[in-house]
Amino acid sequence: MVTVAFLGSHTLGVRCLERLHEHPDVDVEIIVTYRADSDRWWEGSVRERANELGYENVLPIDSEREVLDHPVDYLISVYYPNILGPELLNHPDQAPINLHQAELPRYRGSNVFSHSIMNARKDDYWKHGTTMHFMAEDVDAGDIIDRRFVEIDEDDTARSLYERTREASEALFEDMLPHIVSGDVMEMGTPQSEFGGERYFYTKDSLDDVKQVDPEELGDPDDVELYDRIRAVDFPPFEPAYTELNGRRIYLTKTGYSQE
């Protein structure tokens, strides 16, 4: 029997928790996720699903250090918002593992779907990845276990790319789970230094100067760079790109515009 501490959120976190729960050789010892009253824009709650499945050790994020009181083989992170310190990373007997919603080592950090769309044309790189990797103290820098890819289409928005990547991530997690249970995963890590290509790191505020569009930029209907920029920040329910005219904010999306 393999024991797991699961740290996660989002719809993908719910799906991965369900896969762990269904596996006969996995025992989820403790779960760390958002509080029940936390705001969330995604469908599904890891906390609610964990309660439905009968788990009792379901802790809020600010109590994550209680994981240290539970001996586990693996710490598995899926859309967990906190950066883990060395004590938690070194706690599992086998390894801490993260499911990162972008291709490593190409995209580290935040806002990966938006930047992947904005970079696709200039880099001529029309695919987006999802990566399972071992966790290290540097964010998204650990050895890569495996990856999956989806195509980036010229009609994609950040939200549509997010949804397709989630499906690929579910498949990746399901494929890798037997290797985690058997322990084979410990032999599967490849250092990121062995991968080529461009490397980007984006912080959470990396879109702060992207959404506002100068009205003068709107004059050319063939401006593909602006088109890519608009769809790259088109992620309902969040505010999309916008311009300001006569004191009014006009929202810009791939399909058109609307007033505030």
Q: Evaluate if residue 10 carries a pLDDT over 70.
A: yes
pTM of the model: 0.93
**Residue ranges of the domains in the chain?**
2-202, 215-259
Of 41-45, 178-182, 251-255, the range with the lowest mean pLDDT is: 251-255
Start-to-end CA span in the chain (Å):
55
d(CA 86, CA 72): 16
Architecture of domain 2-202: 3-Layer(aba) Sandwich (3.40)
Q: Calculate the CA dihedral of residues 34, 202, 141, 172 and round it to 10 degrees.
A: 60
d(CA 166, CA 26): 23
Q: What is the DSSP letter of 199?
A: -
d(CA 83, CA 140): 10
Report yes or no: 108 and 141 within 8 Å, Cβ to Cβ. Answer: yes
Work out the pLDDT band at 214, boundaries 50, 70, 90.
confident
| pLDDT for residue 24 | 97
Work out the pLDDT band at 156, boundaries 50, 70, 90.
very high
d(CA 11, CA 17): 10
The mean pLDDT value for 184-213 works out to: 94
